[in-house]
């Protein structure tokens, strides 16, 4: 007899969660925070070619010289294949860690390769940092809004996320101080502040240099570690590289970096630079997760940094993204109805758009996809259901022409919603939800 759940269902009873997953009672408590995005199915539709996706955060890889990379790769396999295809050190290859220090020196960071841990993308570094610091119920501070992949990681370790307001100059120190004081009054000290100071995902803003000092001072005073996530730092459009927060406070900042945006995300090479004692624990956590990061992709990145004009390639990316940012900002100004406001990024991939009061960007998304334009609703970037009047628009992947067309379609959807609102009153948010697993399109 077959005893598996679904096969034994009486035909007149709707399936329960248990019928659908017979392992339901076995999962650890922490899986409660791991839920798939409600909008994942919509994004499957949104990836059809007729839809202009302003949702995904995918780097524009056609800007890479694939032929010369293929030649370099082939040479690498024949000359270094024995090491590149072998297991390696849990911390990453010595050569790549040295090179990473040179990359970070562009942001004023003086670091020793011993303090760098190579990870499978900076996402893994974020996971490792949370794993070594957070017990269930611990508080983590983050910007409001914040990177969806960070919120899902914090949720998967059952951390409580307290989000702190930003403005056009990034995280607001006064608000951070108020949050720290309020938590202190409850006898709680956050484990760390997670911040994306440069070309923020999703907000598109950059933390003013003077504020960085204030934020570091407040965190040091309250004995809160700072986790500085900086995948976009070299992708500024005005020739400016901001000083890393890690450069001013090496003992209290864990810096996370990545080659995903400056080279290619498919390689999954990122890193953490941590104070020496923290690095010890990070390596142990990383070892238990992967034994060692892939030697192969580390060799690829090392060779790329050593033999390719990688800074020239970063310039090419900057130029592509600057042109697309300009196209998006001009189209927003030309087409969006009154009452919309948006940020003006000076680098990175994203614009953060606020729509007129009464509209709900998540409720509006199915209609937008029907009208062949996609975006990420703002609620994805908050742990507490805020963000229903916001959305993230990405300008990194579609061409300028597609961006303009996408904004035109979005404007028509907004006009339609406003018309409905005038006729029937405000469109209230249907649901309030917390962070959910990002689909590739929300990352
Ligand atoms: C702010 C931020 N941090 C981390 C990541 C993850 O990057 P990686 O590809 O290095 O894992 C992303 C990716 O979009 C990001 O936007």
- Over residues 117-144, the pLDDT tens digits come to 999 999 999 999 999 999 999 999 999 9
- Residue 82 CB partners (closer than 8 Å, separation 6+): none
32-64+312-424: what fold?
3.90.1150
Q: What is the dihedral of CA 171, 331, 369, 383, to 10 degrees?
A: 0
User: Are the C-beta atoms of 208 and 169 separated by less than 8 Å?
Assistant: yes
Task: Give the per-residue pLDDT at 18.
Answer: 67
Which one is predicted more confidently, 438 or 305? 305
258 ligand 1 Cβ < 6 A: yes
Task: Give the per-residue pLDDT at 248.
Answer: 97
Mean pLDDT of 46-72: 92
Task: Give the per-residue pLDDT at 10.
Answer: 55
Task: Give the per-residue pLDDT at 172.
Answer: 98
CATH 3.40.640.10 maps onto the chain at: 67-307
CATH 3.90.1150.10 maps onto the chain at: 32-64+312-424
| pLDDT band, very low/low/confident/very high, at 442 (cuts 50, 70, 90) | low
- Residue 148 CB partners (closer than 8 Å, separation 6+): 202, 376, 380, 381, 435, 438, 442, 443
Of all protein residues, whose CA lies closest to atom 16 belonging to ligand 1? 201
Task: Give the per-residue pLDDT at 425.
Answer: 77
| pLDDT band, very low/low/confident/very high, at 95 (cuts 50, 70, 90) | very high
Task: Give the per-residue pLDDT at 441.
Answer: 62
By residue count, the chain amounts to 443
Question: Ligand 1 atom closest to Cα of 147?
Answer: 1
270 ligand 1 Cβ < 6 A: yes
Inform me whether the pLDDT recorded for 193 exceeds 80. Answer: yes
Task: Give the per-residue pLDDT at 33.
Answer: 79
Pocket test for ligand 1, best of 147, 392, 438 (most atoms within 8 A of CB): 147
- Residue 379 CB partners (closer than 8 Å, separation 6+): 361, 362, 385, 386, 387, 388, 429, 432, 433
Please tell me the distance between residue 122's alpha carbon and the centre of ligand 1 in angstroms. Answer: 6
147 ligand 1 Cβ < 6 A: yes
Please tell me the distance between residue 384's alpha carbon and the centre of ligand 1 in angstroms. Answer: 21
Please tell me the distance between residue 420's alpha carbon and the centre of ligand 1 in angstroms. Answer: 37
Task: Give the per-residue pLDDT at 427.
Answer: 56
Residue 30 corresponds to which tokens in the numbers above?
């922490």
| pLDDT band, very low/low/confident/very high, at 237 (cuts 50, 70, 90) | very high
Please tell me the distance between residue 12's alpha carbon and the centre of ligand 1 in angstroms. Answer: 47
Looking up tokens 């005005």 gives: 238
348 ligand 1 Cβ < 6 A: no
Task: Give the per-residue pLDDT at 168.
Answer: 97
Supply the DSSP string of 128-158, one letter for each residue: HHHHHH--TT-EEEEEES--HHHHHHHHHTT
Among 25-34, 148-157, 159-168, 247-256, which is the least confidently predicted range? 25-34
Helix (H) / strand (E) element for 228: namely: strand 225-229
Average predicted confidence (pLDDT) for the chain: 92
Inform me whether the pLDDT recorded for 350 exceeds 70. Answer: yes
Task: Give the per-residue pLDDT at 5.
Answer: 42
Inform me whether the pLDDT recorded for 257 exceeds 70. Answer: yes
346 ligand 1 Cβ < 6 A: no
Please tell me the distance between residue 443's alpha carbon and the centre of ligand 1 in angstroms. Answer: 7
Phi, psi of 270 (to 5 degrees): -140, -175
Please tell me the distance between residue 107's alpha carbon and the centre of ligand 1 in angstroms. Answer: 18
Task: Give the per-residue pLDDT at 437.
Answer: 62
Task: Give the per-residue pLDDT at 286.
Answer: 96
Task: Give the per-residue pLDDT at 46.
Answer: 74
Encode pLDDT of 7-48 as tens digits. 455 556 666 766 788 898 899 988 887 877 666 766 777 788
Inform me whether the pLDDT recorded for 322 exceeds 50. Answer: yes
Mean pLDDT of 98-114: 98
pTM for the full predicted model = 0.92
Residue 256 corresponds to which tokens in the numbers above?
């996370």
Please tell me the distance between residue 184's alpha carbon and the centre of ligand 1 in angstroms. Answer: 31
Inform me whether the pLDDT recorded for 351 exceeds 90. Answer: yes
Q: Does domain 67-307 have CATH number 2.130.10.10?
A: no
Inform me whether the pLDDT recorded for 353 exceeds 70. Answer: yes
Angle at 30 between CA 91 and CA 183, to 5 degrees: 90
Looking up tokens 């509006």 gives: 364
């Amino acid at each position: 007899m077959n005893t598996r759940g679904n096969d034994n269902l009486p035909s007149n009873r709707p399936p329960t969660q248990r019928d659908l997953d017979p392992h339901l009672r076995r999962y650890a408590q922490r899986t409660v925070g791991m839920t798939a995005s409600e909008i994942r199915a919509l994004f499957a539709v949104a990836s059809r070619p007729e839809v202009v996706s302003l949702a995904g955060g995918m780097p524009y890889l056609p800007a890479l010289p694939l032929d010369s990379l293929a030649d370099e790769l082939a040479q690498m396999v024949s000359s270094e294949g024995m090491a590149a295809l072998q297991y390696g050190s849990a911390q990453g290859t010595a050569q790549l860690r040295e090179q990473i220090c040179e990359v970070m020196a562009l942001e004023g960071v003086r670091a020793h390769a011993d303090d760098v841990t190579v990870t499978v993308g900076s996402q893994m570094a974020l996971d490792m940092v949370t794993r070594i610091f957070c017990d269930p119920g611990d508080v983590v501070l983050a910007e409001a809004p914040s990177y969806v992949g960070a919120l899902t990681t914090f949720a998967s370790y059952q951390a409580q996320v307290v989000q702190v307001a930003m403005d056009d100059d990034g995280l607001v120190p006064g608000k951070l101080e108020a949050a720290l004081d309020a938590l202190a009054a409850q006898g709680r000290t956050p484990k760390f502040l997670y911040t994306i100071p440069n070309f923020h995902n999703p907000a598109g803003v950059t933390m003013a240099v003077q504020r960085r000092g204030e934020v570091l001072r407040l965190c040091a005073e309250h004995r809160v570690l700072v986790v500085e996530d900086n995948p976009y730092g070299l992708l500024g459009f005005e020739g400016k590289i901001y000083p890393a927060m890690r450069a001013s406070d090496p003992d209290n900042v864990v810096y996370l970096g990545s080659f995903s945006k400056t080279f290619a995300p498919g390689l999954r090479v990122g890193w953490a630079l941590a104070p020496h004692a923290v690095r010890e624990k990070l390596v142990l956590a990383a070892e238990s997760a992967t034994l060692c990061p892939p030697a192969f992709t580390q060799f690829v990145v090392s060779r790329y940094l050593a033999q390719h004009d990688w800074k020239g390639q970063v310039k090419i990316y900057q130029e592509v993204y600057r042109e697309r940012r300009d196209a998006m900002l001009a189209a927003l100004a030309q087409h969006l109805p009154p009452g919309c406001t948006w940020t003006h990024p000076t680098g990175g991939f994203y614009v953060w758009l606020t729509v007129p009061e009464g509209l709900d960007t998540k409720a509006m998304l199915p209609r937008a996809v029907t009208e062949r334009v996609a975006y990420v609703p703002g609620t994805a970037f908050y742990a507490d259901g805020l963000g229903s009047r916001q959305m993230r628009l990405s300008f990194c992947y579609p061409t300028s022409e597609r961006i303009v067309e996408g904004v035109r379609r979005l404007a028509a959807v907004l006009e339609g919603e406003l018309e409905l609102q005038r006729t029937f009153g405000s469109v209230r948010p249907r649901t309030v939800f917390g962070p959910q697993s990002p689909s590739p399109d929300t990352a």
